[in-house]
Amino acid sequence: DAGVTQSPTHLIKTRGQQVTLRCSPKSGHDTVSWYQQALGQGPQFIFQYYEEEERQRGNFPDRFSGHQFPNYSSELNVNALLLGDSALYLCASSLGSGGRSTYGYTFGSGTRLTVV
C-alpha cells in the first residue's frame, strides 16, 4: 500500500521564480494538507484541500496557492519566490475533512526547496 508520494524530492529555484510541488495521497485518502517546515522549526499549516476545494488556510500569503484533482492528488504553487521560502514542504493526507480518520495524517517525506 503506497503511502504519500511527493515530487520532486529536492529543488533549487532562483528568487522571483515560480515553483510547483506535487503530492499523491495515500490510497483511500481524499484530503490533502500542505505544511511548510523551516529549519529547526515544527511544520506550519499552509492549507487543506477536500473535494477539490480549499477548505482551510493558515497564515500564508496569496503567493501560495494549490489545487486538488479528481483523483485526490494535489499541487502546491508558490509564486515570486523569496529567500525565506526555502524550507521542507510536507504533504499530508487523511480521510475526510469531516472526520473518519483514526490516525490523523499520513505524511510524505517532503520536497526540500532551496531559493537562491
Partner 1 sequence: DAKTTQPPSMDCAEGRAANLPCNHSTISGNEYVYWYRQIHSQGPQYIIHGLKNNETNEMASLIITEDRKSSTLILPHATLRDTAVYYCIGGRRTGNQFYFGTGTSLTVIP
Site residues, partner 1 (CB under 8 A): 4, 31, 33, 35, 40-45, 48, 56, 58, 88, 90, 92, 94-99, 101-110, 112
| Residue 87: strand pairing partners | 113
Closer CB to partner 1, 54 or 80, in the complex: 54
Q: Do 21 and 75 meet the contact criterion of CB atoms below 8 Å apart?
A: yes
| Residue 10: strand pairing partners | 112
* Interatomic CA distance for residues 95 and 61, integer angstroms: 27
Closer CB to partner 1, 41 or 79, in the complex: 41
* Interatomic CA distance for residues 108 and 34, integer angstroms: 10
Closer CB to partner 1, 22 or 112, in the complex: 112
Nearest distance, CB of residue 36 and partner 1, angstroms? 11
